[in-house]
Amino acid sequence: MKEQPEKIRIDKWLWAMRLFKTRSTASETCEKGKVRMCGLPVKASRNIKAGDIISIRKGAFTLQFQVLQLTENRQPAKFVAEYCKDLTPADELERIKIHAVEIRAFRKGGEGRPTKRDRRELDEFIF
């Protein structure tokens, strides 16, 4: 069995934990300052270790995860819980659920993609 690394790049770990679809997306998110450790933005090349707490800003929501184990390989969804623990506060998870319901309620199925005006009205309504 292959040994676990002591440290790993944060963009590689975020991709392996299925938090981002591609590693380049994880890298771009880090470079935009949306990934934080200890309240400070981190670069994609930052090494992490077990026990670190990572905050990720996705849209209007902030997700928090604790690193339990390190891996360089992308994991199946059912094994992700062994490598990271979701520390996102319950009120933030509730906001995410409410947002999902509002999005579905605002537009009828089959109307197509929202226009720029529709999107602005939706953002104003939600936030």
Q: DSSP string of 25-52?
A: HHHHHHHTT-EEETTEE--TT-EE-TT-
Domains present along the chain, CATH in parentheses: 1-88 (3.10.290.10), 89-127 (no CATH)
Say what the pLDDT of residue 106 is.
67
Say what the pLDDT of residue 19 is.
93
Say what the pLDDT of residue 109 is.
59
Per residue in 107-120, pLDDT (tens digit) is 665 577 878 888 88
CA–CA distance, 95 with 63 (Å, rounded to integer): 12
- When pLDDT is averaged across residues 7-17 and rounded to a whole number, the result is 93
Contacts 24+ apart (CB under 8 A), 113-118: none
Say what the pLDDT of residue 110 is.
58
CA–CA distance, 10 with 8 (Å, rounded to integer): 6
Q: pLDDT band at residue 124, thresholds of 50, 70 and 90?
A: confident
Q: Which two tokens stand for residue 21?
A: 């679809």
36: CB partners within 8 A, 6+ apart: 42, 54, 55, 56, 57
Per residue in 21-71, pLDDT (tens digit) is 999 999 999 999 999 998 899 999 999 999 999 999 998 899 999 999 999
